[in-house]
Amino acid sequence: MAELIEERTLVRPVSRKLRLDLLTQRMVLVAVVGGIWWLSSLSVPHYILPGPARVWEALQLIARNGDLWINLGITFWRVTIGFVFGTLVGLPFGIVLGANKRAGDFFEPVIPVLNTVSSAIWAIFAIIWFGISNATTIFVVFMTAMPLIITNVWQGTRTVNADFIELARVLRMPDWKVMTKIYLPTILPHFFSGARLAFGFGWRVSLVAETIGSSSGVGYRLRQAADLIRTDQVFAWTLTLVIMMATIEMGILKPLENYLFRWKKDAEEQ
């Protein structure tokens, strides 16, 4: 029997050397970008382009006085709430629109319209409706994330294999079990990529919303630093965001995706 199993199933020993190579490459890349940054900063005033050392100092300052953590926390909280609401609305809506053809046909034009409205416009509406408050940022994140999740989940329902539904029917499976055992696992990869996109977009638009409609958060601090021409602080905030997004992406989302969808044939690894 064992010889029947195809070779690709055998656990691929990810070569240690390959990993080290990759790590070296990444470090070289960071060093090159840092070097260009440092060289460019030498010939221009620091309020136009602060050098790495200056930014590092600014970073230490906001980290020490607690500014960094408080505002990062506030922004993170707002993005998460908006994202959670977006999921709570987007997931069931996407499934219903996908499962019910009439509803799907009827609402079809709404999604592209929602997707094309700029986040800045949502931010302006939010200020009119909610004023300077948490709700403004949450609303903007929600309005950005929700259509993305609906679109992806909707597309996911279209890929549900009719043969699997027939199998479940032959086994006399009740409807709700067909939902949880066939629909949900099929939709999950689509939902996941939609959610990832939505979370990333959410972060970006939250800053826009905070710069104009908030008195706290990273976006607000960014604008403040810009107003005071503290370019080093603008850089420090930006750097923090980049590092945080990269950590979430590579440290949480990517491994989670690899684990959840390990049943997929990985084309690039063959």
Partner 1 sequence: MDGLTQKTCTDTERASFAIRLEGISKSFSNGREPLEVLKNINLIIAEHAIVGLLGASGSGKSTLLNIISGILKPDSGQVCICGAGSDEFNEWRAISYMFQDDRLLPWRTAIRNVEFALEAGSLPKAERARRSRETLRLVQLEGFEEAFPYQLSGGMRSRVALARSLVTDPRILLMDEPFSRLDAQTRTLMHDELLRIHQLKRMTVVFVTHDVAEAVLLGDQVAVMSPRPGTIREVVDIPLGRPRDITQPEVTSYIQRLRALI
Q: Using CB under 8 A, list all residues that contact partner 1.
A: 1, 4-6, 8-9, 163-164, 166-174, 177, 181-182, 185, 261-265
Q: How many residues does the chain have?
A: 270
Rounded to the nearest 10°, the torsion over CA 105, 109, 114, 118 is: 160
Shortest reach from residue 163's CB to partner 1, in Å: 6
CB of 254 or CB of 264, closer to partner 1: 264
CB of 26 or CB of 169, closer to partner 1: 169
Shortest reach from residue 3's CB to partner 1, in Å: 9
Phi and psi angles of residue 100, each rounded to the nearest 5 degrees, phi first: -110, 110
Q: Whose structure tokens read 């800045």? A: 120
Q: Where are the alpha helices (DSSP H) in 100-216?
A: 101-107, 110-116, 119-130, 134-158, 162-170, 175-178, 184-213
Q: Which of 150, 156, 160 is nearest to 94 (CA)?
A: 150
Q: Which burial class, exposed, middle or buried, applies to 71 when counting CB atoms under 10 A from its CB (0-12, 13-18, 19+)?
A: buried
Shortest reach from residue 179's CB to partner 1, in Å: 13
CB of 26 or CB of 264, closer to partner 1: 264
Shortest reach from residue 157's CB to partner 1, in Å: 16
CB of 42 or CB of 170, closer to partner 1: 170
CB of 11 or CB of 113, closer to partner 1: 11
CB of 8 or CB of 19, closer to partner 1: 8
Cα separation values, 81 from 139, 145, 173, 242, 250, Å: 9, 11, 36, 20, 22
Q: Which of 108, 121, 87 is nearest to 191 (CA)?
A: 87
Shortest reach from residue 158's CB to partner 1, in Å: 17
Shortest reach from residue 13's CB to partner 1, in Å: 17
